[in-house]
Amino acid sequence: MSSVSLKPAVQAPRPQGLSVWHLLNIPNLLTLSRLFLVPVFLALLSKHRFNYALDVFCLAGLTDALDGTIARWFDCRTEIGALLDPFADKLLLLSAFVGLTVENLIPGWLLGVIITRDVVIVFGYLLLIFYTDERLLARPSYLGKAATCFQLASVVGALAGAGQNWTQLWYTLLYATVAVTAGSGMHYAYQGLAWLSSREPQMFE
């Protein structure tokens, strides 16, 4: 398993001007559409239209796959897109877990682990910036990607009624999601502390 790569982000030269097309290109529009799908998903979920909510969730996932692919193929990546994309992904997932927990389709302890892990990552990232005064480029590890996959599978399973039909398999998936999510959180925390220790050894003396 590869470790998280934390390094100062390279400061690219600032362009003289940014056109509307540069900011609102196709990948960024797809990312924005994913943000707009979040309230639609929650509205369907609150009305117990689980099949339609699943369709919207899968459509949002499709936009996630498309925006990154198009940005790479046509070399139209932007800084705002790099910020919006993970934000849209995280908002969609957290909204899904909160909504599913409220509807009693996912146990509260799973939501608690996911929120705790995300808080640890965000808080740790801000601490690194505060102590080093550098903007850092954080890349997800394989364990972090695996946690996202398990979380997506849990959301899809809950919307598809897995909790009612496949009890043993369903809870196996939930426990695996908790284990991988918690493991990825500890992995990120360890990598962040190791990086900070190498940069500021006097803080740990």
The string of pLDDT tens digits covering residues 36-82 is 999 999 999 999 999 999 999 999 989 888 877 777 776 767 777 67
**pLDDT (0 to 100) of residue 3:** 39
Written as six digits, the tokens of 164 are 């009612």
**Per-residue pLDDT for 125 more than 50?**
yes
Of 148, 135, 145, residue with least CA distance to 79: 135
78 touches 22 (CB < 8 A)? yes
Residue with the two structure tokens 């550098």? 134
144 touches 188 (CB < 8 A)? yes
| Residue scoring higher pLDDT (35 or 2) | 35
At 151-170, the pLDDT tens digits run 999 999 999 885 566 678 88
Please write down the HEC assignment for all residues of 80-147.
Answer: HHHHHHHHHHHHHHHHHHHHHHHCCCCCHHHHHHHHHHHHHHHHHHHHHHHHHCCCEEECCCHHHHHH
Whole-angstrom Cα Rg for the chain: 19
Written as six digits, the tokens of 165 are 């039909």
**pLDDT (0 to 100) of residue 174:** 94
Residue with the two structure tokens 């995300």? 118
Q: How far apart are CA 38 and CA 73, in angstroms?
A: 27
**pLDDT (0 to 100) of residue 2:** 37
**Per-residue pLDDT for 90 more than 60?**
yes
At 130-155, the pLDDT tens digits run 777 766 666 778 898 899 999 999 99
12 touches 135 (CB < 8 A)? no
DSSP label at residue 132: H
- Residue 131 identity (one-letter amino acid): Y
Containing H/E element for 136? strand 136-138
Report percent pLDDT > 90 for the chain: 41
At 181-205, the pLDDT tens digits run 999 999 888 888 777 777 654 554 5
Q: How far apart are CA 120 and CA 189, in angstroms?
A: 7
Residues 6+ apart with CB under 8 A from 35: 84, 88, 91
Residue 136's DSSP bridge partners are: 8
Written as six digits, the tokens of 78 are 């932007």
Q: Of 19-28, 35-44, 172-181, which range is least confident?
A: 19-28
| Residue scoring higher pLDDT (100 or 123) | 100
**pLDDT (0 to 100) of residue 83:** 77
**pLDDT (0 to 100) of residue 11:** 47
